Structure 1
Amino acid sequence: MERILQIPFSLNLEEAKSKLRAVDWQQIQNLLEVANPLIYAQAVYEVSYIYEKLEDAVIIDGVCFNSQVLRKNLENVGRVFPYVVTIGAGLEQRVGECKDLLEQYYLDQIGNIALTKARKHLEEHLCATFAIDRLSYMSPGSLQDWPIEEQKPLFSVLKGAEELIGVRLNENLIMIPRKSVSGIFFPTDVTFLSCQLCQREKCEGRKAPYNEALARQYKLQG
């Protein structure tokens, strides 16, 4: 059964400064005061178990996920946590109504910061609740090895995502509201980041440099 988590939330100027490049910080403070009441952070997750491990796929709760990277990451794992996190549609609607392009950009970036913070809150909740030292995650669409089409099986495990927190997939498998993220958390001894296996050069969301040696370990390089 899916578990819902209401995430208490507020962004401050120091958090924004660590992520944003801005000249007028008073403007950012004013926009934070606009954004914070519009952010409604929630998560839904499942405590799931691996039924079977195939060569390049895993069966989780009876659902097949095709990815050799995910399969390798779950080699010594029996329990995982599929999840969806969202900050709701309020800030997204405000961005759409905004006529000032710079304000629009800043509000959108504030939404990205908020979403990252909300996912981190879920990670900390899972670690505390299930006595786990460290978690990593993978998300459909973050790697060619695990394309966005894998959103379908993920949402089939999290059947209540739309009813519980209002997140659904559109015809292009994009989550609505757009300020939402999904994936699978799994216990790990060494932190894994999909960015380490991604060769895309220009990416604002990059969290780690490409690691060619690691890519070879995952058999993504010859």
Structure 2
Amino acid sequence: MKRNGLRGENMGERWLFDQLEWNVDFDAACKKLHVMEDDRDDFEEIYGETVKRMKPVFYAGREKILSNDGHSIVLGGERFESRVISVNLKDSDTVYPFVGTSGRAAYEYALSISDELFRYWADSVCELALRSASVSFRKAMRGVIGSDNINSLAPGSVIDWPISQQKPLFALLGNVLEKTGIYLEPSFLMRPVKSGSGILYASEKHFESCSLCPRQDCPNRRAPFDSEKFGRDYGEKNE
């Protein structure tokens, strides 16, 4: 199933992308989720009900870096504590915070399913939709930023940027629940579950936070773990 159309609604220094192109191919999803031939009819029903409720949306902004002391940065009235972020942004003056989700209605549908396998299927279709929409979002943001070379940093995925920093990120963007339907749990996890957040920035030097993450069983790993990278690139000797 495919949805077409990409629209960015300029809201001063905020943009709402609520017509992103995305695609969750049925046969590819069956293969990805190891759906057995005998289960295809059941999966097709769950797939169809999930897809018709799907509405990926991203909300992003542009922020000047007001200060960078080598261990934290200040954006708007919010401070973000991270040596990695501070070093990565030492030559930057502007960043682009964002949040995005596969949609509230599809998430609530998945929650309503009592059968564990069927619920897993619905959740997985939401994740595939989010990944697909994320590609369209990044393409759109390359146009906004004016560079093909952009990196991303996300709370909880950077070794010294904890998930608790979701709170200032949401505060910085403002109106996140109203614009996207995304909200934070007391644990700082996002709901809907299939959501993402972070900061985009332009850089000629490619960066993958996976290179700093020791978790080896991550299905979304994009780069191998480098056990010496943090000390080499972010140690005090680099100050």
Partner of 2:112: 97
What SS does the corresponding residue of 1:209 show, helix, strand or coil?
Answer: coil
Kindly indicate whether residue 21 of structure 2 is the aligned counterpart of residue 3 of structure 1: no
- CA deviations 1:51-103 (Å, max 9, x no partner) are 11112111122421100111111121111110010122222222222233222
Kindly indicate whether residue 24 of structure 2 is the aligned counterpart of residue 20 of structure 1: no
Give the aligned residue type for 2:16.
I
Which structure 2 residue ranges, 5 or more long, are not aligned? Answer: 1-12
What SS does the corresponding residue of 2:58 show, helix, strand or coil?
Answer: strand
Quick check: 129-138 or 149-158, which moved more? 129-138
The correspondence for 2:211, drawn from 193, 196, 199, is 196
What SS does the corresponding residue of 2:218 show, helix, strand or coil?
Answer: coil
8 Å contact from structure 1 (residues 45, 84) kept in 2: yes
Q: Indicate how the Cα distance of structure 1 residues 15 and 44 shifts in structure 2: closer, same or farther if over 3 A, else same.
A: farther
Identity %: 25
Q: Indicate how the Cα distance of structure 1 residues 136 and 20 shifts in structure 2: closer, same or farther if over 3 A, else same.
A: farther
The correspondence for 1:46, drawn from 58, 61, 75, is 61
Kindly indicate whether residue 193 of structure 2 is the aligned counterpart of residue 178 of structure 1: yes
Partner of 1:162: 177
Q: Distance in 2 between matches of 1:29 and 1:152?
A: 38
8 Å contact from structure 2 (residues 17, 59) kept in 1: yes
TM-score normalised by length of structure 2: 0.82
Report the alpha carbon displacement of residue 119 of structure 1 after superposing the two structures with TM: 2.0
Quick check: 1-10 or 56-65, which moved more? 1-10
Q: Indicate how the Cα distance of structure 1 residues 217 and 17 shifts in structure 2: closer, same or farther if over 3 A, else same.
A: farther
Please list, as runs of the form range in 1=range in 2, the aligned pairs for 1:83-122 lying within 5 A after superposition.
Answer: 83-122=98-137
Give the aligned residue type for 1:12.
D
Partner of 1:214: 229
Q: Distance in 1 between matches of 2:205 and 2:30?
A: 29
Q: Indicate how the Cα distance of structure 1 residues 191 and 106 shifts in structure 2: closer, same or farther if over 3 A, else same.
A: farther
- The number of aligned residues is 222
Give the aligned residue type for 2:24.
L
Report the alpha carbon displacement of residue 19 of structure 1 after superposing the two structures with TM: 4.2
Q: Indicate how the Cα distance of structure 1 residues 135 and 167 shifts in structure 2: closer, same or farther if over 3 A, else same.
A: same
Partner of 2:78: 63
- What is the root-mean-square deviation in Å for CA atoms of aligned residues? 2.4
Q: Indicate how the Cα distance of structure 1 residues 218 and 10 shifts in structure 2: closer, same or farther if over 3 A, else same.
A: same
Report the alpha carbon displacement of residue 221 of structure 1 after superposing the two structures with TM: 11
Please list, as runs of the form range in 1=range in 2, the aligned pairs for 1:128-143 lying within 5 A after superposition.
Answer: 128-143=143-158
Report the alpha carbon displacement of residue 15 of structure 1 after superposing the two structures with TM: 4.9
Q: Distance in 1 between matches of 2:136 and 2:119?
A: 26
